[in-house]
Chains A and B, each alone.
Chain A
Amino acid sequence: MDAKSLKKHLANITVGGRLGEHHGSTDVTALQGLNLELKAGDRLGLIGHNGSGKTTLLRALSGAYEPDEGQVEVRGRIAALLDLGLGIDSTATGYDNIRLRGRISGMSSKEIDERMDEIAEFTGLGPFLAMPVKTYSAGMQARMAFAAATAVECDVLLMDEWIAVGDADFQKLAHKRLLKLVEHAGILVLASHDTELLRRYCNKVMRLEGGVASPVTDIRKMDELLAA
């Protein structure tokens, strides 16, 4: 093992997926040999270092990334709450942004219109929804984005970190709404570094390290999994 490959080896065990040379260019294998089956009622927590492949797995589950080998199959409607800022146009009004986000996450215009009152009420922004989003404070913007993103009905919910937005009051409301969404969805996959959080919301856990996954373990055995 020369110095370069040692460095590469070290890099592999700390952060990131596996780096490989391919026709002179470097490619990253973010996930490898992952086997996973989830059924309704499963709440899976993903834990691992930065770059261990948690987000890549979530994106693969959302259908955005296609695996180079093997297959990903999801039965049911998927909602990926990976980025609340998705599709936000700061010059558009709150209403327009809610509509846009709804369209992107797969709702029809009619469905959005039907749910608009409920979404608008939840944001608590009242007349501000008719104003451009750029006039909002960061907290208000987060409220709007959260309400729009969580308006979907889904069977599989993917989340990169538990979402907590807004002031104390809103956080409570948001928490309730998120829990309802999780309950409604059969399956939750939640990536987080926070073990307490995973203990609270998940019943299963999987550890990722350098793109290689541990077996899916009961959440009560998380400490053993992390010690391993």
Chain B
Amino acid sequence: METATHMLRTGRRGPLFEFQMAMRDLRNSVERLGLAWSLAWHDIVSRYRGSILGPFWITLSMGLMVLGIGFLYSRLLNIPLAELMPYVALGIVFFGVINGVVNEGCETFVNAAGILSQTSLPMFTFVWRTVLRNLINLGHHVVIVVAVLLWFGTWQQADPALALVGLLFLVLNVSWMSMLAGIASARFRDIPQIVQSVMQFAFFMTPVFWQASKFGDKHVFLTVNPFFHMLEAVRAPLLGAPVDALSYTVLSVMALAGWAVTFSIFAVTRRRIVHYL
């Protein structure tokens, strides 16, 4: 039995105590990562039950988008296909992860209302559920990445290890955004609409399918775009390009600051979230 054999729930005892309880929630969720994984896996299986291609449908539509945008923009902007296509492919696949985790984050707690209102499962479990679900999806979309890198021969310069480090940075950042969106959406039901608009806007404003170098890598417009750095940290190594140290700095600072803010908000609202639902 994984169930806590000793449960203690108390009234507010000051900020430090609330913080400790939030930490306990986090610890419990990490101990039960298997549960988050089971729930995430179930989500995927359940969403695509009865479908032959399953999550590969998304992969397929992403693949088409990559092909379409790749061809179109390589002609429009006069960029060799072999240069733009891998760039666009990686951009769309990994922006898909960012987009998915943040957007679905809005429903993290709302969808778990039934479970949260009658069990003592940690709330973080449901955050991990959202993150893991999107990583499982990514596992399918990797097909596109591999195909494009092989076709255009980019794989020879690729540094997968560094890309994994980049992915770690991406997940670290995107997960606090997801959780923040989850808490805010539980309380204010307008948030999902806002988040959706922001993410769509971000898709066009971030160098997902247009090249950052053409715009000027160092332009302040890109420097302040968090999604640009997340994307760069994963994409550049796979294209054999160096990652700007600035990106790692921004990602580290943003992860620390973002988690500090999100965790504090969680510590304050933790006992209330279930009542928002």
Q: Do A and B originate from a single complex?
A: yes
Q: Are A109's CB and B9's CB within 8 A?
A: no
Chain B residue with the shortest CB-CB distance to A156 = B7
The contact string, 1 if C-beta is below 8 Å from chain A, for chain B 255-275, is: 000000000000000110011
Contact stretch, chosen from B33-41, B165-173, B176-184: B33-41
Asked whether, in the complex, the Cβ of B11 is within 8 Å of the Cβ of A71, the reply is: yes
Q: How many residues of B contact A (CB 8 A)?
A: 33
Chain A residues within 8 Å of chain B by Cβ, number: 42
Q: A62-B120, A67-B10 are in contact. Are A92 and B42 (CB under 8 A)?
A: yes
**A65-B274, A91-B46 in contact; A109/B34 too (CB < 8 A)?**
yes
The complex places the Cα of A64 from the Cα of B1 at a distance, in Å, of 18
Residues of B within 8 A of A62 (CB): 118-120
The answer, among A71, A100, A105, A154, for a CB contact under 8 Å with B119, is A105
CB distance from B2 to the nearest CB of A (A): 5
B121 at the interface (CB under 8 A from A): yes
Asked whether B119 lies within 8 Å of A70 as measured between CB atoms, the reply is no
A78 touches B114 (CB 8 A): no
Known A69-B11, A70-B11, A71-B10; judge A59-B118 contact (CB<8 A): yes
Q: Which of B200-235 contact A (CB under 8 A)?
A: none
Mask, A104-143, CB within 8 Å of B = 1, is 1111110100000000000000000000100000000000
**B115 on the A face (CB < 8 A):** yes
State in angstroms the CA–CA spacing of A104 and B45 once bound together: 17
Contact A92 B49 (CB under 8 A): yes
Neighbouring B residues of A104 by C-beta, 8 Å: 35, 115, 119, 121
- Cβ B49 vs Cβ A86 within 8 A: no
Main secondary structure of the interface of A (DSSP, over half): loop
Q: Which of B5, B6, B10, B120 has the most CB of A within 10 A?
A: B120
Q: Contacts of A74 on B, CB cut-off 8 Å? A: 6-8
Contact of A63 among B9, B45, B114 (CB under 8 A): B9
Tell me whether B7 and A63 are in contact (CB under 8 A): yes
Task: Return the contact of B116 from the options A64, A75, A153, A154 (Cβ within 8 A).
Answer: A64
Chain B residues within an 8 Å CB radius of A60: 9
CB pair A83–B114 under 8 Å, yes or no, is: yes
Q: Is B117 an interface residue (CB 8 A)?
A: yes
Asked if A66 meets B121 with Cβ closer than 8 Å, knowing A104-B115, A106-B2, the reply is no
Q: A87-B114, A89-B46, A96-B42 are in contact. Are A153 and B1 (CB under 8 A)?
A: yes
Contact mask for chain B residues 150-182; partner A; CB cutoff 8 A; 1 contact, 0 none? 000000000000000000000000000000000
Asked whether B3 lies within 8 Å of A78 as measured between CB atoms, the reply is yes
- Give Cα A35–Cα B38 distance, bound, in whole angstroms: 38
A74 to B120, CA, bound (A): 12
Query: Quick check: A63 and B38 within 8 Å, CB to CB?
Result: no
Known A64-B118, A83-B114, A92-B49; contact A75-B1, beta-carbon cutoff 8 A:
no
CA distance A100 to B114 in the complex (A): 14
Are A59 and B117 interface neighbours, CB within 8 A?
yes
Contact call A100/B42, Cβ cutoff below 8 A? yes
Beyond the given A74-B7, A104-B121, A153-B1, could you list 12 further A-B residue pairs with CB under 8 A, ordered by the A residue number?
A64-B116, A64-B119, A64-B120, A66-B11, A68-B11, A68-B12, A68-B271, A77-B5, A103-B38, A105-B3, A109-B34, A111-B1
Query: Which 4 A-B residue pairings sit nearest by Cβ, starting from the closest?
Result: A63-B120, A106-B3, A71-B10, A69-B11
* A residues apposed to B, CB below 8 Å: 59-60, 62-78, 80, 82-83, 85-87, 89, 91-92, 96, 99-100, 103-109, 111, 132, 153-154
25 intermolecular pairs with C-beta atoms under 8 Å apart:
A62-B119, A63-B4, A64-B274, A66-B270, A66-B271, A67-B9, A67-B10, A68-B11, A72-B10, A74-B7, A75-B6, A76-B5, A77-B1, A78-B3, A78-B7, A89-B42, A91-B46, A92-B42, A92-B49, A100-B38, A100-B42, A104-B35, A104-B121, A109-B34, A109-B38
